[in-house]
Each structure stands twice: as C-alpha cells, then as structure tokens.
Amino acid sequence: MKNGQFELPAAYSLPVLEEVCGNCRMSEDFELLADAAGKIAADPELAAYACSLYKEFTAKDNWASFADHYRPVDKLGDAADAIFLLTVLSGMPTALKRYRDRGIPEEVIADTLDFMQREKNGKTKKKFPGLHPLRLSFCRHYYLAEIYRLGRFLFKPHDKGRDLPAVLINKRDPAKKILLASDQTFYDDRGFMTHKNATWIARISITEKGIRGHLILADGTASRTQESFLFDEWTMQYGAREVLDMHIPAGGGMTPELSRTSLKMAFEFFAGKNAVVHCNSWVFNPDLQNLPGTKNITALMKMGHLFPVKSTGKDGMFFLFGRETDELSELPRETTLQRSLIDYMRQGGKLRSGGIFFFPDEL
C-alpha cells in the first residue's frame, strides 16, 4: 500500500489484512486492526516508522531485540501495539508461501500461524489487538517458516550456537542416560550456571578411551565432582550436534497428556531426524517443582532430564506478570501460579531458567 513517499507493508492493504487475519485465526480483530492501519497510514511519521519496523523485522539474520522500540501511545493510545502486530501480519503472506513450498500439511500451517492464542485466551485478552515489541524477534521464526506448532508446543531445528550438555547413552541399556556439564561453564555452590559469584568451572576432557566431566544430577544441578566414563560402555551423542528445540507458547491446558502427545507428534513429524528434544525456559527451574500452581510444570519436568543454563534471576517475570520489577508488591496476584511465585521470591527464590532434554523412548 502506498502513502505518498512510503510503500507501506502488506498488511496495510485492507484486502491483504483481511486475508492474513483469516489465515491467523484473527478475523474478529480485522475491523480494529483496519482502523489502526488507517491511522498509521495517514500519519507520515507513523507510516515511516511502520516501514522501518518491517525492514528490521524482515532483515536477514536480524535477531536483535525490539523490546525498547518506541510504542506510539501518544498517537494511537490503546491501539499503540497494533503497529507491531501489523508488522508481523505483513510477513504472513511470505510465511504462508514458505510453509507451503516446504510441503507442510495445511492443518499444521493453520495451527502454527495462530500465534496470538494468548491474547485470545480468557482474562489475558487485550481490549485492542496488538503485540508487545518484545515478541517481534520470536515472531521472525514464523516469517522464516522454521517453527511448527504440533499440539501444545512449538518446535524448530536447533540453534547450533547454543552450548548443550554432552549426552552419554549406555550401550547395553539405552534407557540409561547421563548428562555432563558443558566445558568451560561457570557454576555457583548449588550447581546452577552463573556469571556472577561463580565458585567453580566445569571441565570436560576426552580421550580415545573415554570422557571425564561433571555429572548433571537428577535435580537439574551440576556436580562439582568429576567422574569418568569409558567409551566401551557409553556412547556420546548430541552436545553441539543438531537437536530439536521446543518452545512453550502462552496459555493454559499444559496437562501431562497434552504435553506427552505434543512431544510424540514432534518426533513423528521430524521422522527421526532429531533424536532428542531440547528446551530452555523459566518453566524448567527445578526450584518450582511442587509449588502451588505448578502441578503441570512439575509433571513436564519429570518427563525429561533437567540441566542448568544461563539465567538472569528474573527469567519469565515479564511472561508471568507483564513486567519486570524488584518491587514484588507491584506484581499482579490474579492466579495461583502468580501468588505462589511471588511468595517464592519473597523467600529469596530466583526466577531462573532451566534446560531439559526429552527422549522418545522415555515418553
């Protein structure tokens, strides 16, 4: 759509917007978004900003955060975040073509492009459809057609830039698996990965006969004591090799049954190309097990193998409460989980991320 000197992104054309709203199961939001698109197109500064956002969003290999980007509340009021949602929707025609060119089943495409499920879910529904700029970077996965919704969870090929533990599988009994902490990683006294106040460094040494390293314990922490394992008895897999990444979209209903079904769907969908599913999330903080409101989270942890990952101490706070703050009294206490985690933090607990591996033979 043209507006004077600007070639606005695709979703600013009402026929395109109506079509992509249908593809993304957002038809009920079309009129509100069309109104916001009209206001943005009529304002030269907002139109220029919309073009700039889309250029950033679609730039090759741009994974920089959009979290601090200007939110035009002064001009759009409650509709301010619509400009970010329209940015993502403008990329949906390209995304849809990419998914179809890869032969992805239409039902998987439809479920995947329904990326606004949280905003349509009960109490969290926004008065005006919009997307927080913090989410734009993640939404690039949809634009690139490299992420797939299979049941409750989202899955994508692994980002090879991440450090993952080595996995040892017993040759006689493949059900026995051991995780070893990544080489040159820093830990605190409890065995959590840290950048501050580290008390020890994990080391891995590999010879022709075997591997020596720090065992990841069942509680998701790393042992300071080193142990040795012989390749006559164990085979080493994964580590930096490709695995399948899992992402947990917002919303309820993460029952053990739905979680297990989603994982099985992923292993089937990728047809054995990825023999392990990996996830980093605040959900897998081992300290959250058995707290009020974490029944489903605890059950999901018990399906896999936990391990420590880098953390800020506030991981998941924005996701859980809509903001990050040290003033716990300012956080909402609307759900059992929110109340439970506020009480946990008041007792000195930290919202740390944890990692987990899921194996097909253990589901």
Predicted confidence band of residue 158 (pLDDT cuts 50, 70, 90): confident
Q: Do 250 and 229 have their domain in common? A: no
Q: What is the extent of the structural domain holding 308?
A: 245-362
Map tokens 């797939």 to a residue: 148
Residue 141 lies in a domain: yes
d(CA 288, CA 361): 26
Predicted confidence at residue 119, as pLDDT, reads 47
Name the region of 4 (left: φ>0; alpha: ψ -120 to 50; beta: rest): left
Continuous segment of H or E residues that includes residue 212: strand 210-216
d(CA 294, CA 288): 7
Residue 153 lies in a domain: no
Residue 110 lies in a domain: yes
Q: Do 274 and 315 have their domain in common? A: yes
SS3 content of the chain, % helix, strand, coil (to 5): 40, 20, 40
Predicted confidence at residue 239, as pLDDT, reads 55
Residue 119 lies in a domain: yes
d(CA 132, CA 67): 8
Predicted confidence band of residue 285 (pLDDT cuts 50, 70, 90): very high
Task: Identify whether the C-beta of residue 114 lies closer than 8 Å to the C-beta of residue 24.
Answer: yes
pLDDT, tens only, 6-16: 699 999 999 99
pLDDT, tens only, 63-83: 888 989 999 999 999 999 999
User: Does the pLDDT of residue 234 top 90, yes or no?
Assistant: yes
What's the number of domains the chain is made of?
A: 3
Amino acid letter, residue 274: N
Predicted confidence at residue 349, as pLDDT, reads 93
Q: Do 321 and 339 have their domain in common? A: yes
Residue 360 C-alpha from the chain's centroid:
21
Q: Do 259 and 234 have their domain in common? A: no
Q: Do 131 and 14 have their domain in common? A: yes
Both tokens assigned to 278: 């990996």
Of the candidates 298, 291, 274, 275, the residue with the CA atom closest to the CA atom of residue 354:
298
Last residue of a domain, one of 204, 220, 238: 238
Mean pLDDT of the region 44-63: 94
d(CA 168, CA 31): 55
pLDDT, tens only, 82-140: 999 999 999 999 999 999 999 999 999 999 999 998 444 444 445 789 999 999 999 99
Map tokens 């399948």 to a residue: 244
Q: Do 204 and 268 have their domain in common? A: no
d(CA 66, CA 56): 9
Predicted confidence band of residue 5 (pLDDT cuts 50, 70, 90): low
**Exposure string over 234-245, b if 16+ CB within 10 A, otherwise e:** bebebeeeebbb
CATH number at residue 335: 3.40.630.120
Q: Do 228 and 321 have their domain in common? A: no
Q: Do 259 and 355 have their domain in common? A: yes
Q: Do 127 and 24 have their domain in common? A: yes
Q: Do 60 and 183 have their domain in common? A: no
Q: Which residue has the higher pLDDT, 47 or 312?
A: 47
Instruction: Give CB contacts under 8 A, 24+ apart, made by 336-345.
Output: 336/292, 336/293, 337/292, 337/293, 337/294, 338/293, 339/292, 339/293, 340/291, 340/292, 340/293, 340/294, 341/288, 341/291, 341/293, 344/287, 344/288, 344/291
CA-only gyration radius of the chain, Å = 22
Residue 158 lies in a domain: no
Which of 33-47, 123-137, 192-206, 341-355 is least confident? Answer: 123-137
Q: Do 222 and 87 have their domain in common? A: no
Residue 334 lies in a domain: yes
pTM: 0.91
Q: Do 227 and 255 have their domain in common? A: no
Last residue of a domain, one of 146, 178, 201: 146
Predicted confidence band of residue 251 (pLDDT cuts 50, 70, 90): confident
Residue 319 lies in a domain: yes
Predicted confidence band of residue 303 (pLDDT cuts 50, 70, 90): very high
Give the list of residues 6+ apart from residue 142 with CB closer than 8 angstroms, or none: 88, 91, 92, 95, 112, 113, 115
Residue 154 lies in a domain: no
Neighbours of 342 (CB within 10 A): 18
Last residue of a domain, one of 114, 146, 178: 146
Amino acid letter, residue 104: I
User: Does the pLDDT of residue 271 top 50, yes or no?
Assistant: yes
Longest Cα–Cα distance of the chain, Å, equals: 71
User: Does the pLDDT of residue 298 top 60, yes or no?
Assistant: yes
